[in-house]
Chains A and B, each alone.
Chain A
């Protein structure tokens, strides 16, 4: 691929990404926010974070070894640590270290 074409492809991807990010603001942002959008703004973050958690775990294989066990154990550790101490950094570090140990040494 020539450098010119590579630049064009990067520009296209950047343009489409920006379009997706700006579109809601351009279409819905100028007037007084309709009640329906205010409502979505309040409930959507809960649903989106649920969706993102599932999105991150999309490649686990529940029916085949290791049955998603490293992911599920580490995710459970994050939840328990967070319920216990409610310290975001501790929950993330604890879960990540456990996950690294699990994939590098336990479920090789």
Chain B
């Protein structure tokens, strides 16, 4: 029991950055949804079932502009295609997660991914239980934010402009942390350089899918160079 409480406390501490960001962005979503005629129950349903930040913001405009089923499906496909990427890199880590696996996969947002992708979990804790706790806490923050926004959002007078930078800052700290612990910086550099190049070439609406494709191709071609020799040998023995 003491152990459980310790692990829960650790999960809360690690998710505080996401809590800040999700409460703010979730509130923003709730306000937007309510203003467009989709009040608290709608905002709640979207945060429970869709649970994808930028997509939910777009969903409000799709709903209020009377979009078709096809354009809703295509928009979601384009905006959320990056989640394919998260899945590919989490297959091994979530492999034996058992009954928690469906939720772990369902709840793999950008922010949750940034907390679980490094695979560090407190000593003595069951990793899958810990990741589950982190994932669930994050969705709870998001839901609280959306409901608050839909209920009392218009009463906020404090100037919150710029507070959404918390999410960017979270990704930057994860990036720096990975940089400090990586044995090879090529994947990190490739991710930044390829994405910036695609942003310049394709523009801010279309660059994500070309970036992902090029990153996948680039890392695949570089496998011989990036794979440490001794591990490569181990793998050959396993195959």
Q: Which residues of A contact B (CB under 8 A)?
A: 1, 6, 8-14, 16-18, 20-25, 28-29, 33, 35-41, 43-59, 70-71, 74-75, 78-79, 82-83, 86, 88-89, 91-92, 95-96, 99-100, 102-104
Would A21 and B50 be within 8 Å (CB), given that A48-B191, A49-B188, A78-B173 are in contact? no
Sample (18) of A-B pairs whose CB atoms are under 8 Å apart: A6-B63, A12-B69, A14-B49, A14-B50, A20-B77, A29-B91, A38-B92, A41-B89, A44-B85, A44-B219, A48-B191, A50-B195, A51-B82, A53-B172, A78-B176, A82-B173, A92-B169, A103-B162
What is the bound-complex CA distance between A53 and B211, given in angstroms?
A: 13
- Are A55 and B161 in contact, CB atoms less than 8 angstroms apart? no
**Interface code B171-194, partner A: CB below 8 Å = 1, 0 otherwise?**
111111110101001011111101
**Are B187 and A46 interface neighbours, CB within 8 A?**
yes
Question: Assuming the A-B contacts A37-B88, A96-B169, are A43 and B76 also in contact, with contact meaning beta carbons closer than 8 angstroms in the complex?
Answer: no
Flag if A56 contacts B87 (CB, 8 Å): no
Number of residue pairs A-B, CB distance < 8 angstroms: 252
Distance (whole angstroms) from the CB of A63 to the closest CB of chain B: 11
Query: Is chain A's binding surface mostly helix, strand, loop or mixed?
Result: helix
**Residues on the A chain within 8 Å of B49, using CB:** 10-11, 14
Task: Tell which of B64, B72, B86, B89 has the most Cβ of chain A within 10 Å.
Answer: B89
Indicate which residue in A28, A50, A95 contacts B169 across the interface (CB closer than 8 Å): A95
A36 to B227, CA, bound (A): 10
Contact in complex: B81, A37 (CB < 8 Å): no
Q: How many residues of B are counted as interface, with CB atoms below 8 angstroms from the partner's CB atoms?
A: 95
Question: Is B100 part of the binding interface, using a Cβ–Cβ cutoff of 8 Å?
Answer: no
Chain B residues near A92 (CB, 8 Å)?
Answer: 17, 20, 166, 169-170, 173
Which residues of the partner chain B approach A38 to less than 8 Å between Cβ atoms? Answer: 92, 235
Partner of A49 from B81, B91, B166, B178 at Cβ < 8 Å? B178
Of the candidates A8, A21, A37, A86, the one having the most CB atoms from chain B within 10 angstroms of its own CB is A21
Residue of B nearest to A35 (CB): B235
* A81 closest partner in B (C-beta): B173
Contact mask for chain B residues 89-124; partner A; CB cutoff 8 A; 1 contact, 0 none: 111111100000100011010100110011000000
